[in-house]
Amino acid sequence: MKPISFFSLFIVGIVIIFSCTTLKRYNSIEETGTNNTLAGIDLFGFRLSDSKPENGNKTLWDLSADAQSQFIKILNTRYPDNEEFFEAMSFEYLKEDEPLFPDSYINKDLRMIFSVFKQRDYGNRNNLSGIELSPADRIEYLKIMLSIPDDSGVRFTGWNMFTTEYGTMDIADVSFSRSLEIDASGLISSDKKESGGELSTGGKSSASSREDQEIKYRYIKLNGRISNNEIEMEEEGTREIDLTGNIMADISLEFERFPELITYFIGLKDSAGKFNEPERIIMQYSEVIIPRMEKVKDTVFADLKMDYVYRNVIKGENTFPEWDDRIKYYRGSVSKTVPLFTSNDYIPDFYCIGNEKDSEGRNIIKMGAAFKKEYSLIFRTYKDASAFREWLADHFNRNGNRNKTVNIGGYTLKFINEELTDEIYKKLPGFSIIPCYW
């Protein structure tokens, strides 16, 4: 054999070895299509809770490794008892006093759980999509956008977490072997582990290879963007990772601001449990910030949109590896309106004392001050409102207080446009504790 042909065979062999043993994304690909029926998304869970700012408290575990070690030795000396020692390791230091009640009711944490699904009508071309689906198909790319209307009175302020079930995963060993035959004048046998091979001339040739691939940690790509009224999540899977499943996003949001005045009464009862006279009661006001929204919206809705790329396996679906697949990518887009949270989630749970609500509005007890100023008597909790109502009922039941107004700390109790007396209080039906907002 001439040296030139031997060299050619050698080159061809090397090319074949590397082209056949290197992992490929697919074998061949067809032109990309568009289909909006292959995948879908739902927001099946949401929860709005009060945002709790991080406190500055420190624990043992906030210290450096050396400091932890020293600290544990000290704790061990100081608390020889096992139980006390374990308790001591959970102590918090530099503790700040936490306020009993917040002054702001506009910051909330929103947890959303999205569910991404795909069609699974395998092997049936007469399905909704008109495409023959297989178990080897997968959603390869997702972009989820959630936007709230500009006039919703709320805006996104921060992103705390974005998690999918594939955030981190260990897929261990991927081992496969394959054999192939080529019509060439050469014999090639190769084992990648040995990183070498034999080559000899001959008639019909065959090649076999074995690959062991170890991929310890495989991440899918997660991207997130946030603006005042839109969040955007991007997710891109790699080989054999189907992006169907649940996605959890924790978002911080803030309502527009509106001021409100909360009233506290101190000393409604004396140390013996008897109701005090008005002059012994101290009234305090506290200004708080509540959400600004002209009308209470029963449900705040958002627009949810998902763009996706669907990897449809036309041939090769019977094997787990993807390198031998003949595929076609489909782009798709779905959108819907979803409920984000309800009025119970964001309306402050304040209470007043007054008539039952009607279409004309509320009639509640107010505090009349100097210069003809009046302020609503708003209680932060039902318990506070109930305690004052009990005091008021007791006050009006005393003989000496008949037809007298109630003056506490320079303020006079008023109802509608009159000063409140026992006559008005007892005459009006449905005088009870009512929610402030509805």
Q: Using the rule CB under 8 A, which residue among 241, 290, 302, 327 binds another protein?
A: 290
Site for another protein contains 292 (CB under 8 A):
yes
> 372, 399, 427, 429: which one contacts another protein (CB under 8 A)?
372
Please identify which residue in 71, 159, 176, 375 interacts with another protein, judged by CB under 8 A: 375
* 376 lies in the binding site for another protein (CB under 8 A): yes
Q: Give me the 220-259 binding string for another protein, x by CB under 8 A, dash otherwise.
A: ------------------------------------xxxx
Stretch that binds another protein, among 177-185, 283-291, 303-311, 399-407 (CB under 8 A): 283-291
Query: Residue 32: is it exposed, middle or buried by C-beta count within 10 angstroms (0-12/13-18/19+)?
Result: exposed
Taking the least distance from each CB to another protein, the nearer of 301 and 437 is 437
Per CB under 8 A, 289 contacts another protein: yes
Which of residues 232 and 260 has its CB atom nearest to another protein in the complex?
Answer: 260
Nearer to another protein, 224 or 435 (CB): 435
Contact 188, 198 (CB under 8 A): yes
Q: Strands 257-266 and 282-291: what pairing?
A: antiparallel
Shorter beta-carbon distance to another protein: residue 217 or 438? 438
Please report how close the Cβ of residue 99 comes to another protein at its closest, in angstroms. 19
Residue 2 contacts another protein per CB under 8 A: no
Considering the complex, state which of residue 247 and residue 288 has its C-beta at the smaller distance from another protein: 288
41 or 293: whose CB is closer to another protein? 293
- Only one of the segments 19-27, 42-50, 125-133, 359-367 lies at the binding site for another protein (rule: CB under 8 A); that segment is 359-367
Map the footprint of another protein across residues 293-312, applying CB under 8 A.
Answer: 293-296
Q: What's the CA gap between 157 and 108, in Å, rounded?
A: 10
Q: How far is the CB of 373 from another protein (least distance, A)?
A: 5
61 in contact with another protein (CB under 8 A): no
Among 361, 370, 400, 427, binds another protein (CB under 8 A): 361
CB of 151 to another protein, least distance (A): 12
Q: How far is the CB of 264 from another protein (least distance, A)?
A: 16
What is the size of the binding site for another protein (CB under 8 A)?
30
Q: How far is CA 277 from the centre of its chain?
A: 50
Among 13, 186, 291, 332, binds another protein (CB under 8 A): 291
Residues that bind another protein (CB under 8 A): 256-261, 287, 289-296, 347, 361-362, 366, 372-376, 414, 416-417, 436-438
